Amino acid sequence: MLRVAMISPLFESVPPKLYGGTERIVFQLCQGLTDQDVEVVLFASGDSLVECSMHAVIPEGLRLKQPPVNDSLAYHYKMMAQVAKQAPEFDVIHNHSDYWMFPLTEMTQTPILSTLHGRLDLPDSHAAYCSFPKGHLISISDAQRKPLPDLPWLSTIYHGLDLEKFKFHPKPGQYLAFLGRISEEKKPEWAIQIAKHAGVPLKIAAKIEGALGQDYYSRLVKPHVDGKFIEYIGEISEHEKSEFLGNALALVFPIDWPEPFGLVMIEALACGTPVLARPYGSVPEILKDGVTGFVHSDLEVLAQKVGRLSQISRLECRQWVNERFSLQRMTEDYIDVYRKLATTQGIATHHRRNFLHPLKRAAFGDS
């Protein structure tokens, strides 16, 4: 049996109680691997709720902890030390905590696979990404790796969803939905602009983080919120997400940054809800204009497209996710990489483990 150490960021539990795309994917992957008879040990905060084995690095996720912590990096270093100590017990160590865990590649012979969940175009972070050539990297879209094409990439593996967690809503709702963060990259004020031009109400379910987020909300969002046409409902839980997205006419995704993936897009589609998006970052890889919604850089054009949403099949939106972004497909893609890594580096020996047989894999998502 293949044995994998899964490293999650410590900011949120697995799954997250509220906002947290990376931790949600870690949760899904732990579930998918366990169902495929892969032995997973998750390194995460102690308030995580998973079916696999878990090593609790700290009692609870850092973001919601009271009083707030002053130095989150210290706790991630603690996790790195614990993983390094146990590294020989695993065939592969799968890191989801960005370059903070890259030093593990110099601390153990166990292969380290890192899925990068964030943007790679910020100049200060390049030094870290380029300093650990022994790492093995997974991108979550082809667009994500464009700023650093020469890193040791193994594959692009798109995120996947357990569709049983998302209720299909065959009938469109009466409002537009914005789900995510209140930030300059996500552009909630542009979602408001689209809603006003289209004459359709907007509900904003979003996280406000820190002083910058609060300032952004106060300046650009709050003046438009009237509780009726433009409604801010705050940060919602995973259990509320399916109803919020499924009951919407469309998800508005007016980003202004190189989005590495955009999990909320496939979450909306899984509910049958089409997406109105600007074509930046991963968007052209995830959506198909005219099939899963509409994609255009001009806000006025997107507002005009609201009147054409009846042309989009909500069932086809659901099928799009089932065919391309399923949990099974994501799981099988990762198992294939695990096996290749462990075999190539000679970590797993015949007297200790038997490898999983090759699984039938969907072609979509390979690079």
Are residue 66 and residue 54 in the same domain, yes or no? yes
Pair 199, 316 in one domain: yes
Mean pLDDT score, 113-127 = 92
Query: Is 97 or 65 the better-scoring residue by pLDDT?
Result: 97
| Selection from 29, 51, 6 nearest residue 332 by Cα | 29
Rounded to whole angstroms, the Cα distance separating 184 from 114 reads 27
Alpha-carbon radius of gyration of the chain: 21
With a CB cutoff of 8 Å and minimum separation 6, the contacts of 3 are: 38, 39, 41, 89, 90, 91, 353
DSSP 8-state code for residue 161:
B
- 78 and 190 housed in the same domain: no
* pLDDT range class, residue 355, cuts 50, 70, 90: very low
Q: Is the pLDDT of residue 311 over 50?
A: yes
92 residue type, one letter: V
- Provide the residue range defining the domain that includes 254: 164-323
Please indicate, yes or no, whether residues 81 and 127 belong to a single structural domain of this protein. yes
Asked if residue 295 is part of any domain, the answer here is yes
**Region 36-49 average pLDDT:** 95
Residue 179 lies in a domain: yes
Q: Output the domain CATH number for residue 291.
A: 3.40.50.2000
Angle (CA) 183 25 289, round 5°: 65
CB-count burial class (<10 Å; 0-12, 13-18, 19+) for 34? middle
Instruction: Please state the domain count of the chain.
Output: 2
Residue 294 lies in a domain: yes
Helix (H) or strand (E) holding 289: none
The identity of residue 318, as a single letter, is: R
Rounded Cα distance, 32 and 22, in Å: 15
- Joined together, the tokens standing for residue 120 give 């790679």
**Is 50 exceeded by the pLDDT of residue 360?**
no
CA 271 to chain centre: 17
Alpha carbons 27 and 45: distance in angstroms, whole number: 12
What span, in angstroms and rounded, lies between the C-alpha atoms of 199 and 214? 27
d(CA 242, CA 240): 6
113 lies in the same domain as 204: no
Q: Based on the domain organization, do 244 and 287 belong to the same domain?
A: yes
Q: Are 34 and 51 spatial neighbours (Cβ–Cβ below 8 Å)?
A: yes
| Residue 361, in any domain of the structure | no
339 DSSP assignment: H
Q: CA 146, CA 252: separation in Å to the nearest integer?
A: 25
Q: Are residues 236 and 248 in the same domain?
A: yes
Position 345 scores a pLDDT of: 67
* Element spanning 305, H or E: helix 299-305
Q: Establish if 254 belongs to a structural domain.
A: yes
* Domain co-membership, 30 together with 101: yes
Global pTM value: 0.90
Q: For residue 242, what pLDDT is reported?
A: 94
42 strand-pairing partners: 6, 54
Is 97 among the domain residues? yes
Q: Are residues 340 and 289 in the same domain?
A: no
The answer to whether residue 39 sits within a structural domain is yes
Cα 110 to the center of its chain, rounded Å: 25
In angstroms, rounded to a whole number, what is the distance separating the alpha carbons of residues 73 and 80?
10
148 in a domain, yes or no?
Answer: yes
- The beta-carbon contacts of 101-104 under 8 Å, at least 24 apart in sequence, are 101/7, 101/76, 102/128, 102/129, 102/131, 102/132, 102/135, 103/132, 104/80
> Are residue 172 and residue 112 in the same domain, yes or no?
no
Residues 118 and 242 in one domain: no
Same domain, yes or no: 47 and 115: yes
pLDDT digits (tens, 9 = 90+) for 16-39: 887 778 999 999 999 999 999 999
